[in-house]
Chains A and B, each alone.
Chain A
């Protein structure tokens, strides 16, 4: 059974940092392309970032709204993908989902609230 479990969310002040973790199981992670998607309080879905596998040189892609502030990374030995979020803004407040296989599988999400 495929499982994606996000952790690391919470309340953080604007300008601060937070790192999300997605632990996975049930599939061959080393071959997987992984994405982070967020859902705003208004329920709009927004793709955030993607990381490809080793055979694709771990290429990364970002939404313009997070480019330069967020970094996606992975540890194939731990079957985990990460999202380092720096210089957080109030508009980054959302539920962050880890997804696999072009959004075929989703985690339960972790809530990030950016507020002073």
Chain B
């Protein structure tokens, strides 16, 4: 199975600040078709997870350009700029390249 390792486990940021979350996979996420199926999700308190970024760097419909994804192979990063109160919650990365599909353990974002 592909193990997804997220760091840090939690972080605190001031409003208006910028944060980065790292996600590393135990195997390359490059699919045979050339695509890299790495996604980022945000679960706000009391809600279901929501998709932010798919295929490493593509923002999902309606997602602010304050969210950006980057990386390749086994190392990926989610950056959130100009942090707002509504950004708090737990961020997960997930891979869709190989069965079984797997998720990271999450990074909790708190607002100072």
Contact = CB atoms under 8 A, between A and B. Distances in A.
Nearest to B95: A47
Contacts of B103: 44-47
Interface residues of A, number: 20
A106 B92 contact: no
Interface centre among B39, B51, B105 (most CB of A within 10 A): B51
B96 A102 contact: yes
Contacts of B60: 104
A31 interface: no
Q: Size range of the interface on B? A: 20 to 34
Given A45-B94, A63-B100, A104 B105 contact: no
Contact of B41 (A44, A103, A108): A103
B64 interface: no
Contacts of B39: 102-103
A61 B96 CA distance: 13
B50 interface: yes
Interface string B71-112: 000000000000000000010101010011111011000000
Interface of B: 1, 37, 39, 41, 48-51, 54, 60, 90, 92, 94, 96, 99-103, 105-106
13 contacts: A45-B94, A45-B106, A47-B101, A47-B103, A50-B101, A63-B100, A97-B48, A102-B54, A103-B49, A103-B94, A104-B51, A106-B48, A109-B48
